[in-house]
Amino acid sequence: MIPTAWFLIVSGILFSIGMTGVLLRRNVLVIFMCVELMMNAVNLTFVAFARSFNKGINFAGDGFVVFVVTVAAAEAAVGLAIIVSLARQQESIDADSIDLLKE
């Protein structure tokens, strides 16, 4: 028996690490990876709560996880395409150098 709270704590730690990475790193690719990590932490919470509440009759939490994974895959495809086209235009994927709308 593993208490649900343990999963929640691990998921909270992973989410905070992901958020720190988003704030700290300047490489757009690594920022994107940190976003994926945050989504994964949220998925862990969903599954933990689904296991905790349902007793095998309610699969809403599992359904959420499947659709979050689907949207994450779609988002990764589009986001990486944007990063590729961005890198073609200005030869850098540093988040600080992306300031086209500034001037």
Query: Considering only residues 20-39, where is the footprint of other proteins by CB under 8 A?
Result: 20-21, 23-27, 29-30, 32-34, 36-37
In the complex, minimum distance from the CB of residue 50 to other proteins, in angstroms, rounded to a whole number: 8
Q: Give the CA distances from residue 7 to residues 4, 16, 43, 61, 74, in Å, rounded to whole numbers and listed in that order.
A: 5, 14, 11, 15, 27
Strand partners, 27: 94
Under rule CB under 8 A, residue 97 binds other proteins: no
CA atoms of 36 and 31, how far apart (whole Å):
9
Q: 71-90: which residues touch other proteins (CB under 8 A)?
A: 71-78, 80-85, 87-89
Under rule CB under 8 A, residue 100 binds other proteins: no
